[in-house]
Amino acid sequence: METRTLEWDTPMYRLAVAQLDQTAQLMGLQENLWHRLRTPQRAHVVSFPFRRDSYDVVQTVFGYRVQHLTTMGPTKGGIRYDLGVDLGEVTALAMWMSWKCAIMGLPFGGAKGGLRIDPRQFSPAELQRITRRYTSEIIDVIGPDRDIPAPDLGTDEQIMAWIMDTYSQTKGYAVPGVVTGKPLEIGGSLGRKEATGRGVVTCMVEACRDLGLPVEGARVVVQGFGNVGSVSARLAHAAGARVVAVSDVASGIHDPAGLDLPAVDRWVAEHRTVQGFPGAEGVSNADLLTLPCDVLIPAAIQGQIDGDNAAKLRCKLIIEGANGPTDLDADRILAERGILVVPDILANAGGVTVSYFEWVQSLQHFFWSEDEVNARLVQLMTRAFTDVLATARQRGVDLRTAAMIRGVSRIAEAKRRRGIFP
């Protein structure tokens, strides 16, 4: 295909496009639709001056908001604060959001945004100022009917609150529907914070059932102890699994007998790291991936499982909590080795699913109970998992390809129905 895509060209964008190309070829997708989906419909790049707390220091900051697909409804996706953020990364993530929303049957196209900063180097006051300035830079392209941000790597509910406030101040009235993943007090949803982890564990339970692997006592390794990793570990533990290793950015801890997860949570609350947790051995993030276990949950960042380490993994099942943790070489090797991979666009879709519930509640000013949110999430996740598994069996493909076929088909059908203007 001859599309010139130099603007976006980065390893992550190449991965997202290669996945699309593979799927499009396999399903015989019409060439013009295929072309359309390889590049985002809108991509906003901003740069602005940012004054640090020490008044004389002013930095230039780069920010992005990419809207991949506007066919299905408003666009939806998180905002990340990370030094790796660039146009290609944000575009790949926006594409994955499109497939994710389509697989779950949510009325959104994919989007993603971010700032190229290391948020850990910023004071709370700086984070607030930079968030408000970034919001004002993209204010014309977001909105409850237009594009709805949410948390992602390096952002949280407080950042969402500042985005909501900046947007609302500009409009002159409160607009809770402009972001999801916001605090409860300003219209957030019960269950949103745990939603991605709950979706991950729902997929784990379903996949274990399919493999005939009892969840009770299953050995689980979790890479990443941010929101997704820590909740996945906690809920896997609550479901009866034995969480044998977890890690954070720096490194991990391992106990083959199973970690006492509530004690790990208490340790992290006090020390802000899993390191030094009494009674467990230290393990590097790279070695953690190859520990013997039943279920591996990469829930940190992209690019963790590749052609080099895929042959060394000693798990039966991978549930992708992070976006883009596995590359195409690894997919091939894992399929050959009979290791089942539940792909990110299905496994971590619990977050955006409850974001959808939150958006609906914000628009209606009518709130659901936590049980209602959780029950509907589990129902939608289980249905999506069953559908993707059925497609995989029918077409003799892996779960990632099956999930993409389902997502892309739904989008293709919507595009066909809407036709081309003018």
Which residues make up the interface to ligand GLU (CB under 6 A)?
76-78, 150, 152, 180-181, 323, 348, 351-352, 355
Give the residue with the Cβ less far from ligand GLU, 187 or 316.
187
Burial pattern 81-98, b for ≥16 Cβ within 10 A else e, equals bbebbbbbbbbbbbbbbb
> Of the listed 76, 100, 112, 193, which one is catalytic?
112
Give the residue with the Cβ less far from ligand GLU, 109 or 252.
109
Give the residue with the Cβ less far from ligand GLU, 155 or 339.
155
- Min dist CB 77 to ligand GLU, Å, is 5
- Min dist CB 290 to ligand GLU, Å, is 26
**Which residues does residue 247 pair with via DSSP β-bridges, in sequence order?**
223, 252
Give the residue with the Cβ less far from ligand GLU, 142 or 318.
142
Residue 342 dihedral angles phi and psi, to the nearest 5° = -90, 115
- Min dist CB 222 to ligand GLU, Å, is 17
Nearest to 225 by CA among 301, 155, 305, 276: 301
125's CB contacts (< 8 A; 6+ apart) are 53
- Min dist CB 52 to ligand GLU, Å, is 27
- Min dist CB 388 to ligand GLU, Å, is 16
Residue 413 identity (one-letter amino acid): E
- Min dist CB 294 to ligand GLU, Å, is 25
415 in catalytic set: no
The burial class, CB within 10 Å (0-12 / 13-18 / 19+), for 417 is exposed
Q: Which residue is nearest to ligand GLU (CB)?
A: 78
Give the residue with the Cβ less far from ligand GLU, 180 or 247.
180
- Min dist CB 16 to ligand GLU, Å, is 13
Give the residue with the Cβ less far from ligand GLU, 77 or 177.
77
Give the residue with the Cβ less far from ligand GLU, 78 or 261.
78
Catalytically active residues, by annotation: 112
